[in-house]
Structure 1
Amino acid sequence: MNSNNDVIRKLHELTEADMSEAEFLQSVENNMIPMQQFFTYYRCAIMEIETKFRVLNEQFSLNGESNPIEFIQSRIKSYGSIFRKIMTNHIPRNVEAIERDINDIAGIRVVCSFVQDIYRLADCFLRQDDITLIEKKDYINNPKPNGYRSLHLIVAVPIFLENEKRLVKAEVQLRTIAMDFWASLEHKLRYKKDLPPYQLNLLADDLKKCADQSAEWDRRMQDIKNILESN
């Protein structure tokens, strides 16, 4: 009998080896929307949200301020990642349930220079009247136990198609450069399979210390910026 850890590992491997579109379609029942059309909705949502942040970045520049955004990245979840989420969260295998219950098929990461930039950008973004906030998780003021820090927004944005307006959900993550650097490396190390548990625990402690040090760098850089701007 496979252990629960073995099952989780095999589900995770779906994100690495990935599933083909045909394999995914076989796993989804009552598929009323062609997959190409389904994913186009999410690509359009990403374009809408990216444009909003790029416009805000330009506006700050026009106001004589430095651009708060260092870079923006986006992605659509792979077939394997979606299927893993269906399995681990016991989501019904149909497109309607996937749209309803999975909020991060479209993901946008906005990397900022300073912590205050994150909250200012998020506030400006959420004040726009066509953005609906579904959920907000502040992992900067309330980090995860492993040290992860970021501001997560689940939002719905309208996309305008030929014959309809459609609300599409997306996850926006706002981080500083230091937070993004730590999260990227932690993600690469998280699923190393060949280490004994005691060594994995030691590495987890080291990663937590690195996260705390990164947060201290962010705090000090913000303090320096505040002093410079006050003079």
Structure 2
Amino acid sequence: MSPQESIEHFRQLKHTITRFMMVYKFALDEMETKIDILKEEFQLLHDYNPIEHTKSRLKSPESIMNKLFRKKLDISLDSIRNNIRDIAGLRITCSFISDIYRVRDMLAGQSDLVVLETKDYIRDPKPNGYQSLHMLLEVPVFMSDRVERVCIEVQIRTIAMDFWASLEHKIFYKYNEAVPERLVAELKAAAESATALDRQMERLHLEMNELKEGRLIEEEELRHIQLNNQQFSIPAALLELIEGDGRD
């Protein structure tokens, strides 16, 4: 193979890998857009946002290859597509445990998303104390010449769960030495403390909601809506029209 042929060969390989990876990137972009819409809808209608923040990541080609080798799988794009299901990952952090299940239901209710698998490590924590809700979702990505159906992994957890998982990851995976049993036990105890905190904050959240719902709302408050940093007055004629439709 001549140098020019070799360069062209690598250019084609790069093109193939880029096309393969970009659909996962686009799937994450679509999910981020969906999440942004859900956040804004919830904020506008309920004056509350169940999602604190999101973080997405793509596995590197090197990491994908290492996983193929560990699992002793065939080295091909089809093998990667069929067996490596966490190439694209999205982490959603919520304030409260109830928000986790609310977000899960909202995603499961999206007609273009297919739930392939759900693992509830909140109901059934891992032995080390890890808690989170994992979903595998199939996301349609509309390309110029085809529709690609891409699997992404979604992890939904509270702030406390995320804090614990981040520190546990640093302790176990960032250091090469074995972690002493005493520290393993303390980590599990810390996970239990995080769970207790989540439950306490959930109770406070519910009590605050009850107080808020019991507050008298001035009629004038209900005559305005806020959209995109703009406040709109609702005409009395429109209120009467909608009220009339509701009675029909």
TM-score bracket for this pair, using the shorter chain length: 0.7 to 0.9
Using the alignment, how far apart are the partners of 1:224 and 1:93 within structure 2? 52
**Deviation string for 1:81-131 (max 9, x for gaps)?**
212221222221100010011110000000011111110011011111100
Using the alignment, how far apart are the partners of 2:111 and 2:71 within structure 1? 32
Q: Which residue of 1 aligns with 2:176?
A: 193
**Given the alignment, which residue of 103, 113, 119 partners 1:131?**
113
Q: Which residue of 1 aligns with 2:185?
A: 205
Q: Give the Å deviation of 1:152.
A: 0.3
Which residue type is aligned with residue 44 of structure 1? F
Cα-Cα RMSD: 1.6
Where structure 1 has 5 or more consecutive residues not aligned to the other structure, the ranges are: 1-25
Q: Within the alignment, does 1:229 sit opposite 2:209 as a pair?
A: yes
Q: Give the Å deviation of 1:210.
A: 0.5
Which residue type is aligned with residue 207 of structure 2? I
Which residue type is aligned with residue 177 of structure 2? D
Q: Within the alignment, does 1:63 sit opposite 2:34 as a pair?
A: no
Contact 1:131 1:155 in 2 (8 A): yes
How many positions carry a matched residue from both structures? 199
Using the alignment, how far apart are the partners of 1:80 and 1:183 within structure 2? 24
Contact 1:32 1:95 in 2 (8 A): no
Which residue type is aligned with residue 149 of structure 1? Q
Where structure 2 has 5 or more consecutive residues not aligned to the other structure, the ranges are: 1-9, 212-248
Using the alignment, how far apart are the partners of 1:149 and 1:100 within structure 2? 26
Q: Which residue of 2 aligns with 1:52?
A: 34
**Given the alignment, which residue of 60, 79, 97 partners 1:115?**
97
Q: Which residue of 2 aligns with 1:101?
A: 83
Using the alignment, how far apart are the partners of 2:181 and 2:61 within structure 1? 31
Q: Give the Å deviation of 1:184.
A: 0.6
Q: Which residue of 1 aligns with 2:72?
A: 90
State the secondary structure of the residue aligned to 1:80.
helix
Q: Give the Å deviation of 1:32.
A: 10
Using the alignment, how far apart are the partners of 1:182 and 1:77 within structure 2? 22
Which residue type is aligned with residue 205 of structure 1? A
Using the alignment, how far apart are the partners of 2:136 and 2:180 within structure 1? 31
Using the alignment, how far apart are the partners of 2:203 and 2:73 within structure 1? 45
Change (3 A) 1:128 1:33: same
- Deviating more after overlay: 60-69 vs 96-105: 60-69
Q: Give the Å deviation of 1:33.
A: 6.9
**Deviation string for 1:7-52 (max 9, x for gaps)?**
xxxxxxxxxxxxxxxxxxx9xxxx7971111110100000111111
Contact 1:159 1:166 in 2 (8 A): yes
Q: Give the Å deviation of 1:156.
A: 0.4
Indicate the structure whose relative CO is greater, using CA pairs within 8 Å and at least 6 residues apart: 1
Using the alignment, how far apart are the partners of 1:73 and 1:111 within structure 2? 8
Contact 1:153 1:173 in 2 (8 A): yes
Which of these two proteins has the greater Rg computed from alpha carbons?
Answer: 2
Contact 1:33 1:95 in 2 (8 A): no
State the secondary structure of the residue aligned to 1:34.
helix
**Given the alignment, which residue of 151, 163, 175 partners 1:169?**
151
Contact 1:112 1:176 in 2 (8 A): yes
**Deviation string for 1:42-94 (max 9, x for gaps)?**
00000111111111111110113311111110000122321222122222110
